[in-house]
Amino acid sequence: MTLPYHTPLPPETRDAHGISPEWRYALASKVQFFELDALNHVNNTVYLRWFESFRLSYVMDYGISDFGPTAPRLVVRSLSARFHKEMHLGDDYIVAGRTTSFRNTSFIMEYALFSNGLAATGDAVMVLLSREGDGRHPLTEAQKKALIERDGAKADAG
Amino acid sequence: MTLPYHTPLPPETRDAHGISPEWRYALASKVQFFELDALNHVNNTVYLRWFESFRLSYVMDYGISDFGPTAPRLVVRSLSARFHKEMHLGDDYIVAGRTTSFRNTSFIMEYALFSNGLAATGDAVMVLLSREGDGRHPLTEAQKKALIERDGAKADAG
Amino acid sequence: MTLPYHTPLPPETRDAHGISPEWRYALASKVQFFELDALNHVNNTVYLRWFESFRLSYVMDYGISDFGPTAPRLVVRSLSARFHKEMHLGDDYIVAGRTTSFRNTSFIMEYALFSNGLAATGDAVMVLLSREGDGRHPLTEAQKKALIERDGAKADAG
Amino acid sequence: MTLPYHTPLPPETRDAHGISPEWRYALASKVQFFELDALNHVNNTVYLRWFESFRLSYVMDYGISDFGPTAPRLVVRSLSARFHKEMHLGDDYIVAGRTTSFRNTSFIMEYALFSNGLAATGDAVMVLLSREGDGRHPLTEAQKKALIERDGAKADAG
C-alpha cells in the first residue's frame, strides 16, 4: 500500500495502519540520513522535531495560525515524550496528533508516532503569545469550536 | 498535480516540473519548520542535507552501497553549492542528481534543486573507503556500468 | 567574569551564577545561529540537544560509559522539559544535571538550564543496553557508588 | 594549554596552534554529540554550520551587521568546502576566517578549520540584501576599510 507523505491521511489509510479513530489528523514521512545519530538510529530529539512539524501543519489546518506577520506566536511551554522502539534509515512513519484540552490562551496536544506499531508518544502545552511583546493571545470562539468538534477537546477553567 | 514525496519520480513528472532529461533520478519533499533559520527562509546548510539525503537513496538505487555492516564507507571529499532563490515553509521541492564522472575509488555528482524553477545547484566529490581502516574501496565493474548507462558518466583516468 | 565553555565549572563559578550546591556538574556554552528557529529564538528541541550533550560529558566523567566499541548503548526511554524563558543569539548558558535515582539497568537524570536565571528544566529516564542485541546492561557497583556519592542518587527497587 | 571557546583567540594562541598570521580572527569550540552522523564522525554539513557560526561573530566584530531589526539581511550566494580529515566526539577545533575581496554589495570569505592540523577549508560569497524587499544593501566606507585594514581584502570592480 502506498503511503502519501506530507499530506493529511484519509481515515481508511489511518485505519490500515492501526491508528485508532480518535486521531483525526495524521501525516506520514520517511526517516532521512541526517536524522540518525552516532548510534545509527533516529535521535530522540528528532521525534520532537517531527511532532513540531506535525504541529505546524495541524495549526494551519485547524485555523489557529497562518504564521503570517500578524499571527500570534505559538510557543512550547512544556513537553514530554516516551520512546517505544528504535527507528532506522528509510523507515516510514506516521505522526498523529490532537488537542485534548484548551484554556483561553493555551492548549494541550497529544502525539503518537507509528512505524510498524507504536514507536513513540508525546504531549506539549502550547501557549499563544501576541506578535509584539510578551502578552497572551486568546483563542477565538471559532478556533475553540474546531478543537471541540474535530478533536473532542475539553474546555478547561482558567 | 500531485507530487509523490520520497519516491523516485517518473519521467513524465520530471518533465512536468521542467527537469531536463539528463536528470534520471529525482526525489521530492516539502520544507519543514526546523529547516528554517532566523531569517525565516531555508538555511543554506539544509540544501546540503537534502543533497545528502538524495545521495543516500541514489547510491542504494544504483547498487553502490547498501549501507550494511560490510558496505564501504562513503564520504564527501569536497562539495560546492550555489543558491538561486530563497525557499520558505511548506514549499515543495525536487532534488535531482547524477554522476558525471568516476575514477577507481571515487565519483563526482551534480545536484539540481527545483522549486518553481531552479532554486540551487551543487556538486560533490565522493570517496569510497574500506569499512575498516583508511584504505580506499574500488567501484565494481557493475557499479561503473550503472553510472555509465543510467547517467552517462565518464571514466576518468586515475 | 569569564565563563569557561565546555569545561566542568568549579563550585565558585556555579555559586556566582546562582546554581545551588546540589548541582555538582555543570557545563557552559553560548547560543549559536543554527540553534535559532524562524521565531528568532532558540528552538525547543535545541534545549534537549544541550541536555544530551551535557549527558555525554557527564556519563564519561562519572565512569558510566566511555563510548568505546564495547561500551553499553545508552538510550533515552522518556524525557520531559519545561521552558521558562526565551533565549537568543549569543546568550551564555549553563547546563547543570544530576542523577536522582537508579535501578539495575537504568537511571533518572534531572537537568536545569541557567541563562541569567532559570531558563529551562528537564528530566530523562536513561536505559543501558548491551552493545549487541536488545538485552539490558547493568550498572556496576563502582558506577552506582559514583552516582550516590557525587549526586546523592537513591537506589530504587527494580 | 587551555583553549578558550567561543572567544576571539589572541595571536599567541593562534600561533601555538599553527594558524598562520594572515588569519586574524579565529574562534574555538568542541565537537558535540549531535554533530556526529551515523558514520560516527562529524557530518560534512556541520562544518558549514561552524563556518556560519563563525561568520555571524565575525560580521558583528567587523561592524558589518548587528543583526538588529534594521540591519541588512546577509545571505550566502554560493559556497564550497573541502574536507581534509575526519573529526570525532570531543575534538577541539578552531575556525579561522577572513574576507579576501569585496564589491559594493557582496564579499568573499575564506575559512580554515584546524583540529590537530588542517581539517577543512571553505569559502563563501556573501550578499547584503535590504531588510525589506529584494534590493541590494551597500557596504559602507567604514566597513570596507575594516575589511582592508584587518584582513587585507581587495576591492573588486563591480
Would you write out chain B's pLDDT as a tens digit for each of its 158 residues?
467 899 999 999 999 999 999 999 999 999 999 999 999 999 999 999 999 999 999 999 999 998 888 889 999 999 999 999 999 999 999 999 999 999 999 999 999 999 999 999 999 999 999 988 779 999 999 999 999 999 999 999 86
Nearest CA in chain D to A46: D34
ipTM of the modeled complex:
0.94
CA dihedral in degrees (A24, A30, A33, A36; nearest 10)? 40
Instruction: Note the pLDDT of residue D132.
Output: 80
Separation between Cα atoms, residue A104 and residue A157, nearest integer Å: 8
How sure is the predictor about D158, in pLDDT bands with cuts at 50, 70 and 90? low
Distances in Å between the alpha carbon of A93 and those of A14, A39, A49, A100, A118?
12, 19, 13, 22, 10
**Looking at residues C54-68, what average pLDDT do you find?**
93
C-alpha cell read off for D8: 576571539
A80 has a chain C CB within 8 A of its CB:
yes
Does the pLDDT value for residue C64 go beyond 70?
yes
Taking the model in full, what pTM does it have? 0.95
Instruction: Note the pLDDT of residue A157.
Output: 82
Instruction: Note the pLDDT of residue C2.
Output: 64
Give the nearest partner residue to D67 out of C49, C52, C89, using CB atoms: C89
C16 has a chain D CB within 8 A of its CB:
no
**Looking at residues D36-45, what average pLDDT do you find?**
96
Instruction: Note the pLDDT of residue D104.
Output: 96
Exposed/middle/buried for residue A83 (C-beta within 10 Å: 0-12, 13-18, 19+): buried
Chain A residues whose beta carbon lies within 8 Å of the beta carbon of residue D38: 33, 36-38, 40, 89
Distances in Å between the alpha carbon of C40 and those of B16, B33, B39, C87, D50?
37, 13, 8, 9, 19
Instruction: Note the pLDDT of residue B103.
Output: 98
Does the pLDDT value for residue D18 go beyond 80?
yes
H-type alpha helices, B17-90: 44-61
Does the pLDDT value for residue A145 go beyond 60?
yes
Separation between Cα atoms, residue B146 and residue B125, nearest integer Å: 18
How sure is the predictor about C16, in pLDDT bands with cuts at 50, 70 and 90? very high
Instruction: Note the pLDDT of residue C158.
Output: 62
Q: Grid cell 513540531 — which residue?
A: A52
Separation between Cα atoms, residue C150 and residue C63, nearest integer Å: 12
B91 has a chain D CB within 8 A of its CB:
no
CB D114 within 8 A of CB D96: yes
Mean pLDDT score of chain D = 94
Nearest CA in chain B to C42: B38
**Looking at residues D91-113, what average pLDDT do you find?**
97
Chain C residues whose beta carbon lies within 8 Å of the beta carbon of residue B33: 37-38
Does the pLDDT value for residue D155 go beyond 60?
yes
Residue A116: closest CA among A17, A12, A11: A17
Give the nearest partner residue to A33 out of D36, D38, D40, using CB atoms: D38
C89 has a chain D CB within 8 A of its CB:
yes
How sure is the predictor about D2, in pLDDT bands with cuts at 50, 70 and 90? low
D99 bridge partner residues: D109
Separation between Cα atoms, residue C41 and residue D40, nearest integer Å: 29
Does the pLDDT value for residue D134 go beyond 80?
no
Chain B residues whose beta carbon lies within 8 Å of the beta carbon of residue C89: 38
A41-95 pLDDT, tens per residue? 999 999 999 999 999 999 999 999 988 888 899 999 999 999 999 999 999 999 9
D58-75 pLDDT, tens per residue? 999 999 998 888 889 999
Q: Grid cell 477553567 — which residue?
A: A157
**Looking at residues A19-42, what average pLDDT do you find?**
95
Instruction: Note the pLDDT of residue D133.
Output: 72
A32 has a chain B CB within 8 A of its CB:
yes
Separation between Cα atoms, residue C80 and residue A117, nearest integer Å: 23
**Candidates A34, A45, A80, A108, partner chain C, best to mutate (most C CBs within 10 A):** A45
Instruction: Give percent of chain D above pLDDT 70.
Output: 98
Nearest CA in chain C to B39: C38
Chain A: list its partners (3+ Cβ pairs within 8 Å). B, C, D
Separation between Cα atoms, residue A86 and residue C29, nearest integer Å: 30
C-alpha cell read off for B144: 561503473
**Looking at residues A139-153, what average pLDDT do you find?**
97
